[in-house]
Chains A and B, each alone.
Chain A
Amino acid sequence: MKVGILSFQGSFLDHSKSVELIGLTPIFIKNESQIDDLDALIFPGGESTAMRKINNYNGLFNQLDNLIKSGIPTLSTCAGTILLASEVIGGNPTIPNIDIQITRNAYGRQTESFEGSVSFYSNEDIYCFIRAPKITGLLSDNVEVISKHNSEIVGVQQDNIVALTFHPELNNDGYYLDWLHNFIKEGKNVRSF
């Protein structure tokens, strides 16, 4: 199975490592010639302002929007989640597909970046939050909370999309990889783990 990873900039190599570890094929996508026959999509961490700018030239977001709406499993982390949010505080909506309000750099600068305990579906582990955004509002009943740090919502699922504010791709722990494998394999029927 082919997993397309948006590769303008950011943690795309870390995500490709996760995809390789579960025996699937990562496809680095930068333009529309690379998006045929994808079985899943990943929007990596990085800088959302830079990704938006690069897209002005590479022109890929409209096609990715269609792919997400066709129902293929889609994962986003950190900046990727900012791209998919329908409302952005301190930025603009880019490919709005998840009904959440997100606030950029909500914890502060890099000196406030941290490793913290996170519940992710039925598991608990420690993950990195790097100049992370916060999910500051759930805007429809279709959004299910699937991940929390203390009492904060740090991950949601809406149909075929799972959006996180932290970086499981920097861990590649067994639970995450098993989840990722199932999530991608279930394809258009994807539900929670």
Chain B
Amino acid sequence: MKIESTDKVKKGLAEMLKGGVIMDVVNAEQAVIAEKSGAVAVMALERIPADIRADGGVARMSSVGVIQEVMDSVSIPVMAKARIGHFVEAQILDSLGIDFIDESEVLTPADEVNHINKQNFKAPFVCGATDLGEATRRIAEGASMIRTKGEAGTGNVVEAVRHMRTITNQLNEVISCDENQLVALSKKYGAPLNVLEQIKELNKLPVVNFAAGGIATPADAALMMQLGCDGVFVGSGIFKSGDPAERAEAIVIATTNFNDPKILGEVSKDLGEPMVGINIDTLSDEEKLAKRGW
């Protein structure tokens, strides 16, 4: 007996990525640097979030050529982004044999009401969330992995921290509640009841939860791990910095050794220039990618 793409197999891949770093890359050359630096997976993109932010316009799924080039160049899993609600972009990625699809707010949304029904795909999905309601709605739609939205392309970790703390606080409320309160909590957070029941039974989210959006330094990665994230996505932080290979490696070491300040200090030495950050307060609501998704 052999069944492919079961729920357990999809969530299982996310389990195997835990404690690791997933890096944004725009070509095969960057993918190889990421793999050699110890990335557990790469995210194939046409432009990294900082450039999407700077260039403006409509951001779509990467070209198939770039994705295939990256898939051919490394032995670790390859992820790619589809626009929120753009199930045809997801169908194309699925047909390429991509290892994970990120239904991502970093791209321009294609549907202002609905996300993709993720149950019907062979590839597992990861989705961003700012709170427990969003996280559980994505899980109900079939997401096998959750990540904080943070504020991609800013090099500013404050939003990722806010989202992780919010999810953790709301999770704790569900875990410690009396069973009679579950329906009311479901209403309060816009969280599907069946997912809250799973949380109550497991005493945690039923899927892996990574940090993403604004992580630029080894200390940022360790901060998110100490806040309880299962692993880290780094987007613009690596290839917008002075020495990408060295910074990538330092963030990998920091993510494994997140509880050891001495090691964190050591790997943070002589890293060269980090990416230039953006103060989130200077962004208008339309410029905030985390506001996308519903």
Contacts and interface: CB of A to CB of B under 8 A. Distances in A.
Interface stretch (B191-199, B235-243, B249-257, B281-289): B249-257
A71 interface: no
Interface in A104-135: 104-105, 108-117, 126, 128-131
23 contacts: A8-B19, A9-B19, A10-B18, A46-B17, A46-B18, A46-B19, A46-B20, A49-B35, A49-B76, A50-B38, A53-B37, A54-B253, A57-B267, A109-B99, A110-B98, A110-B124, A111-B97, A113-B9, A115-B2, A115-B9, A116-B2, A117-B2, A129-B9
Interface string B128-151: 000000000000000000000000
Contacts of B38: 49-50, 53-54
Interface in B34-53: 35-41
Interface residues on B, range: 35 or more
Contacts of A112: 4
B185 interface: no
A110 B17 CA distance: 13
B4 A114 contact: yes
B86 interface: no
Interface stretch (A11-19, A61-69, A136-144, A183-191): A11-19
Contact of B97 (A45, A108, A149): A108
A2 interface: no
A131 B13 contact: yes
Contact of A111 (B2, B35, B75, B94): B94
Contact of B256 (A54, A79, A128): A54
Contacts of B71: 109
A22 interface: no
Interface string B262-284: 01000100000000000000000
A47 B22 CA distance: 12
